């Protein structure tokens, strides 16, 4: 299956919104890297971001909020955070 910028952005969004765990995100990224089928127009960017996500469970690399925001910006997305009182 061809990996697109939209798919990578949605995976990052799911991780940020706690719909995916770090382990699930890493597993997905590792699987995508093994398949190696990236949309050609964004090949370098997608390969770089997904490769980095595949290492996010290694202590030396990790995954910060800033990393996620930077990756999304490289994919053409803007992060908008909303803080609301708990009920």
CA distance 47 to 43: 6
pLDDT 10s digits, 9-57: 999 999 999 999 999 999 999 999 998 899 999 999 999 999 999 999 8
What are the residue ranges spanned by the domains of the chain?
5-74
CA 8, 14, 18, 20 dihedral sign is negative
Q: Is the pLDDT of residue 62 over 90?
A: no
CA nearest 54: which of 25, 75, 19?
A: 25
CA 66, 14, 29, 62 dihedral sign is positive
Provide the pLDDT for residue 59: 80
> Tokens standing for 87?
């009920």
Average pLDDT (62-82) is: 94
Average pLDDT (52-71) is: 91
Provide the pLDDT for residue 66: 94
The pTM of this model reads 0.90
Provide the pLDDT for residue 38: 96
């Amino acid at each position: 299956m061809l990996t697109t910028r939209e798919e990578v952005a949605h995976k990052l969004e799911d991780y940020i919104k706690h719909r995916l765990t770090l382990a699930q995100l890493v597993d997905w990224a590792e699987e995508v890297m093994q398949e190696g089928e990236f949309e050609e127009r964004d090949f370098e960017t997608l390969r770089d971001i997904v490769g980095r996500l595949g290492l996010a469970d290694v202590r030396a690399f990790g995954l910060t909020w800033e990393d996620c925001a930077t990756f999304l910006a490289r994919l053409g997305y803007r992060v908008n955070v909303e803080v609301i009182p708990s009920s």
